Structure 1
Amino acid sequence: MSVASETMGFVPAYPTRHEQRLPLLQLIRTLRENAIGTYTKDTYERDIIVYRLLFKPMIMANHPELIRHVMLDNAANYERDPVGKRMLEPGLGQGLLTSEGAVWKRQRRMMAPIFQPRRLVGFAGIMTEYSAALAEKLVRLPADQHVDMAEQMMLLTLDIIARTMFGADASTDVSAVGAAMDRYQVTVRPNIPDLLGLPRWVPRPDAAEGQRALAEMDAIINTLIRRRRDRAAQGDAVGGEMGNDLLGLLLAARDEETGSALDDREVRDQMATFFLAGHETTATALAWTWYLLAHAPAVEAKLHAELDAVLGGRPATYADYEKLVYTRMVVEEAMRLYPPAHTTARQAVADDRFQHIDIPAGTMVIISPWIMHRHRLYWQNPDVFDPENFAPEKTAMRRRYTYLPFGAGPRICIGQGFAMIEAVIILATLAQKLRARLVPGARVAPVAKITLRPSPDLPMTILPR
């Protein structure tokens, strides 16, 4: 029996699971406010659910082989869903998350070398530096002062992504990019015009605020791009380079097939994508990790024992990553219960068939890590926090496509290695210095926007170890 289930069996917060599907207007309202609040109880028990929404054919794919079919075997027939693209493209442009076909393939070829392990070693040093500084700051807080741990994780990962993206150019301007992106995200939620496929000129709620936030972000990013290009041009005579941060690597990237480079707009779109995917998702995963540990003293004790044995009081580094097995298990279990990328969808381009089910062209296939990670068919005690779900022997036996925190198939998150190393280094460096406890009476709930955030915040008291 696992540590978690033997000592406590803590069941973390989740939204109400409805007995029946919500009426249409309530469904649309709930989709706007919290997408995971729309699911019925049977969604967590059935493998394939066929239905219609606003006359559009829909399939809820909770079957691992159907997920494989859509995301891998016949991935060419399934494009990113148009609703999600319409919501994300104003902010992310034609970055890796939103592009399709030949454009996406070219980008993926050009991005792949940037995330090779030899690059991650250098980035890991930045993660260690900022994590150690935050640990020292938090342990010095007065005993009666609490902090929003979700905000602290956002600020920490923002500092890290700013340094890894912009290197020496990271400054107060970069924090403004993060603030603008945060304001933009608040405006990104499905509206009736999006669900109906209406053109962009049809008014959407909050659209004006979203555009203002994007304009602020673009002004800063475009200035940094021009500044870097100018500096490299001026330094050509003395062997100047673009730099070894993400911005420099993007500017220097060449397509191995054509030799072409990214233009300024393409670089901007990738930077916006990295900003969202490179700090928001990791911060959210870590926030939920602190929430879960606060309710699981036995898990926390086992985590501390590993940190003491491996690190002996020093900050975690890249070299420690493979040794911190239980620390990774804790992070992986937090992402099972609270996957930052909670839902994805694909639309069938042409007619298709899976087993006995016809999938007409235009069908929307919903794939929800939130559902798959809590599904009764694939997990024992699926609502209980139990890092032993990711013990090496269990991981080896787990059915493929039941755990999808980074997606699957050709479009699996290119920054998966970066994100896992970052999460483990941050958790290890902080957890060996402190404990975090939820403020008594605080109520925390998962709210699914672009990512799965704790709401309204995560007020915690910090206890030095």
Structure 2
Amino acid sequence: MSAAAAADSGFVPAFPERYERRLPLIRLIRTLRENSIGTWTREAFERDIIVYRFGFRPVVVANHPDLIRHVMLDNAASYERDPVGKRLLEPGLGQGLLTSEGAVWKRQRRMMAPIFQPRRLSGFAAIMTERSTALADRLSRQPSDQPVDMAREMMLLTLDIIAQTMFGADTTTDVSTVGGAMDRYQATVRPNIPDLLGLPRWVPRPSVREGQAALAGMDAIIRDLIRRRRDRAAAGGDLGGDLLGLLLAAEDDEGGSRLDDREVRDQMATFFLAGHETTATALAWIWYLLAHAPAVEAKLRAELAAVLGGRPAEYGDYDKLAYTRMVVEEAMRLYPPAHTTARLAMADDRFGDLEMPAGTNVIISPWLMHRHRLYWPQPDVFDPENFAPERVAARRRYIYLPFGAGPRICIGQGFAMIEAVLILATLAQRLHCRMVPGSIVQPVGKITLRPTPGLPMTIESRRQ
């Protein structure tokens, strides 16, 4: 263990109780609906493959990196995203990159890829730095004895950033309505009992209507934005250089087709959830971890002082902030925002001696893999040195999956990493954050892995 981790080794980052045996069915379903990471037994963090049945469906928990590669890469064409996850997301995200399959997904991926090339990211980075600096200015004036919910502050910051990058050319957009809609969606959408039991699609699922209702205000705003942009282009204007403009201008290089209004809406909703919620959650956990790890925080501050010298971080600093990136990566190991995914076998498959008939649900959980006893020497210790280059080179692939893997790896991972590093660097050199004494924070797995009930912290400015 590193010197920094050793100095802070009395701190054990929070995690839910790990049970000795599987919960009874009714309690299991109730827990899944409230906190999906709160159902795992100890053996899930110790065994490489677990097989059982849930309702009418065979289930395989894939904790073996070669099995994960098999399902997500080598034989990915034989698997689709599991129906429970799709039915949770489709009411809000429609047929976006996270929920579409087959030829539809391939076309979308081809059309989206140019939007996230490095030449685009450098322009988005300027927005990230500008908004982070504004937040640092505001929080540095915060009375040191007045608590701030840093989880909420990170949500508001990434909301501001994604709104600027998505539709910055329309400065009158009601961003709070969009953000509030996403918050209601997160609170409303949870696994349905019919889905968990594998019952047919015709069985009613109330959360579908609730999820659609939660996003009604956001949909109205997005439809209006799309209409105005198309009208402007028809009158001889441009579509704009933000994400909305890039989506409207995107062409499929295999046929030249463009996205229709519904497809643009679905991609915007997807980008909003993935580009706002996940990064904010990761940043919130970083502040929680740093508040309990003074030696790590000191090493982080030393790098920031050497590289930045007090100025805000910029796109060109990203490659120089090696330890800052390690802190971000380690936080996402302990608290992966996208904590669980699953694949449904569409045909009979086999991995070694393991038979996976069509209909098998294969669970791939970064929450399990990132804290697994077989792959990490001290899985519950906060140690950014886990991501030192020599350790990364020596580690097996497919045991660290914060952005997924295979063809469906997150298309926005470059955006997310740059955003997290620039925000952390800009804020950490100016703010000293500590947990309010007596605060208890627990990870709760909904769509993302949120710190619950929040992250109450006191803040001191480093510029006295």
Normalising by structure 2, report the TM-score: 0.98
Q: Is 1:49 aligned with 2:50? A: yes
Cα offsets for 1:359-383 (capped at 9, x unmatched) = 1000000000000000000001100
Structure 1 range deviating more: 166-175 or 385-394? 166-175
Contact 1:174 1:220 in 2 (8 A): no
Cα offsets for 1:72-98 (capped at 9, x unmatched) = 000000100011111111111000000
> In 1, distance between residues paired with 2:50 and 2:196?
20
Q: Is 1:458 aligned with 2:455? A: yes
> In 1, distance between residues paired with 2:111 and 2:62?
31
Q: Which amino acid aligns with 1:173?
A: D
Contact 2:93 2:270 in 1 (8 A): yes
Where structure 1 has 5 or more consecutive residues not aligned to the other structure, the ranges are none
2:125 corresponding residue in structure 1: 124
Shift of 1:202: 4.1
Q: Is 1:228 aligned with 2:222? A: no
Contact 1:251 1:267 in 2 (8 A): yes
Shift of 1:151: 0.3
Cα offsets for 1:393-420 (capped at 9, x unmatched) = 1111111000000000000000000000
Q: Is 1:286 aligned with 2:286? A: no
1:152 corresponding residue in structure 2: 153
Cα offsets for 1:80-136 (capped at 9, x unmatched) = 001111111111100000000000000000000000000000000000000000001
Q: How does 1:414-433 map to 2 (within 5 A)?
A: 414-433=411-430
Query: Of the candidates 301, 304, 308, which is equivalent to residue 307 of structure 1?
Result: 304
Cα offsets for 1:213-270 (capped at 9, x unmatched) = 12111111111110111111112xxxx3211100000000000011000000000000
2:98 corresponding residue in structure 1: 97
> In 2, distance between residues paired with 1:69 and 1:254?
32
Structure 1 range deviating more: 144-153 or 204-213? 204-213
Contact 1:162 1:170 in 2 (8 A): no
1:174 corresponding residue in structure 2: 175
Q: 1:16 to 1:255 in 2, by over 3 A?
A: same
Q: 1:270 to 1:454 in 2, by over 3 A?
A: same
Q: How does 1:63-78 map to 2 (within 5 A)?
A: 63-78=64-79
1:263 corresponding residue in structure 2: 260
2:408 corresponding residue in structure 1: 411
> In 1, distance between residues paired with 2:233 and 2:218?
23
Q: Is 1:27 aligned with 2:33? A: no
Tell me the secondary structure at the aligned position of residue 182 of structure 1.
helix
Where structure 2 has 5 or more consecutive residues not aligned to the other structure, the ranges are none
1:318 corresponding residue in structure 2: 315
Structure 1 range deviating more: 193-202 or 430-439? 193-202
Shift of 1:208: 4.5
Shift of 1:156: 0.2
Contact 1:187 1:207 in 2 (8 A): no
Q: 1:357 to 1:199 in 2, by over 3 A?
A: closer
2:5 corresponding residue in structure 1: 5
Query: Of the candidates 343, 347, 352, which is equivalent to residue 350 of structure 1?
Result: 347
Identity %: 79
Shift of 1:198: 4.5
> In 2, distance between residues paired with 1:22 and 1:233?
59
2:363 corresponding residue in structure 1: 366
2:373 corresponding residue in structure 1: 376
Normalising by structure 1, report the TM-score: 0.97
Q: Which amino acid aligns with 2:252?
A: D
2:112 corresponding residue in structure 1: 111
> In 1, distance between residues paired with 2:69 and 2:275?
25
Q: Which amino acid aligns with 1:333?
A: E
Shift of 1:200: 6.0
Contact 1:18 1:39 in 2 (8 A): yes
Shift of 1:209: 3.8
> In 1, distance between residues paired with 2:199 and 2:41?
28
> In 1, distance between residues paired with 2:171 and 2:31?
38
Count of residue pairs the alignment pairs up: 461
Contact 1:3 1:299 in 2 (8 A): no
> In 1, distance between residues paired with 2:267 and 2:98?
9
**CA RMSD in angstroms, aligned pairs only:** 1.1
> In 1, distance between residues paired with 2:310 and 2:292?
24
